[in-house]
A and B are shown apart, each in its own frame.
Chain A
């Protein structure tokens, strides 16, 4: 990093914010790591739906034995798996297997240069390619086919206690006799009886309710949108973070040397 940083050591007025934006730019142009990839995708594709509140997006969503990079809930559920230049496809089979159990549409986001390596995937899986230098950075090269069958056992493990209890109460009108030791099993028995497409809709609406509105912005500091999403920052918290980053680097030079 030193060769990029030299100028910043010299300049008395640089702030952390400017430095990070500068680094972001360098990464964007030369080394699309997962942060840049995710952040661009948020800014280019998902941002309007998130800001309007129609969609709720989760970063790092645990499902079965996998953790999905980005998951979106609106009228349907979509999962986006990112494979950058640096990622291998090693875990992809396991990831896809888990994603099929809970999400209606699965998309793989890959660099355009790698698109040939993924042609073997089933037709139902959508493919989005990334080309950082194009005006339109992300292109849907193949649309995903929707599959609305979900595995209630997997869904059950995603729900928080108050969510599965709330679902049973809402659908069946009352909770069964149970203790905190057996409430999971008792509620699961009932949830397994809910018709699958209805459970799918409940899953989507419950997840939309779980995720609060995160503070992301279309114009200002959009390099920091993914961090807002990952940390679930409120408007106040985001302002605070940006405010802190605006402080000059010089006050604590050792931070720079570890960057």
Chain B
């Protein structure tokens, strides 16, 4: 099972809704969503779609970035009032009391805990939490970095998920011009053999949260694709005219031209690529949010395609 960790923002949610609506993601992709905005309008539409399409999802109730930062009851209340059948997830940061109190107060079961790899597995309070009956899914970031924690979680007989951060953000978008492609991820090949129940990552988006988007000097379309030996590679299709912030539409045209040519030349196709080709054929610039949505959707479809055939 693939658990992409995403911020619950507009275009991430649209991508997930698109996939749930076409039945593509059910059974192999379970998104973990971290709300970052005070308004839940987009989230509500997505959660409603998930419920009606039987799409499993996980919601983080104590975000570590964005407007909703902190250990509070806001999201827990919201989910309870809306009666949304999603798994509740908590970031662990020495907050056992908050998490156990929340579990009790909201009568939660089958919760997920997301752990950084700096946790000491001998910490009694941590063990109290992790071993409690209500906690059933445990995500550990880069578990190879903390072998003691890794061994401890492995022996608990709970759903164990590894979290990796693959996307290498560049300081400026135009820096992607020099990086054509590189190997991106192969967890889908190995996670079961290495006795994980699932794998998680930040997809083709940076793990670092940023709220301030200014007009970029370069437009990049990041597309992942499957190479011969089932490794996932990423290719960065970057605009060439990057000396000012003007004409973002023209920059998109340059990047889309490269991406579409590559996909056609290599017979790559799925719903996300088809969408990109449609914009390209109509010479229509859909906005940077949609560019992100296409990148994300393509990546989820690549993983989904592999998981549903293996």
Contact = CB atoms under 8 A, between A and B. Distances in A.
Contact of A181 (B244, B246, B285): B285
A62 B250 contact: no
Interface string A40-60: 000000000000000000000
Interface string A195-217: 00000000000000000000000
B250 A185 contact: yes
Contact of B285 (A159, A180, A185): A180
B250 A181 contact: yes
A146 interface: no
A181 B253 contact: yes
B54 interface: no
- Report, as a range, how many residues of chain B touch the other chain: 10 to 19
A119 interface: no
Contact of B249 (A64, A156, A158, A181): A181
Q: Mostly helix, strand, loop or mixed at chain B's interface?
A: loop
Contacts of A161: 249
Nearest to A188: B247
A180 B249 contact: yes
Interface in B47-75: none
A5 interface: no
A62 B214 CA distance: 13
B288 to A, nearest CB: 13
Contacts of A181: 249-250, 252-253, 283-285
A182 B241 CA distance: 13
Contacts of A158: 246
A183 B252 CA distance: 12
Given A179-B283, A182-B253, A184-B250, 11 more contacts: A62-B245, A64-B244, A157-B245, A158-B246, A161-B249, A180-B249, A180-B283, A180-B284, A181-B283, A183-B249, A185-B250
12 contacts: A62-B245, A156-B246, A157-B244, A158-B246, A179-B282, A180-B249, A181-B252, A181-B253, A181-B283, A181-B284, A181-B285, A184-B247
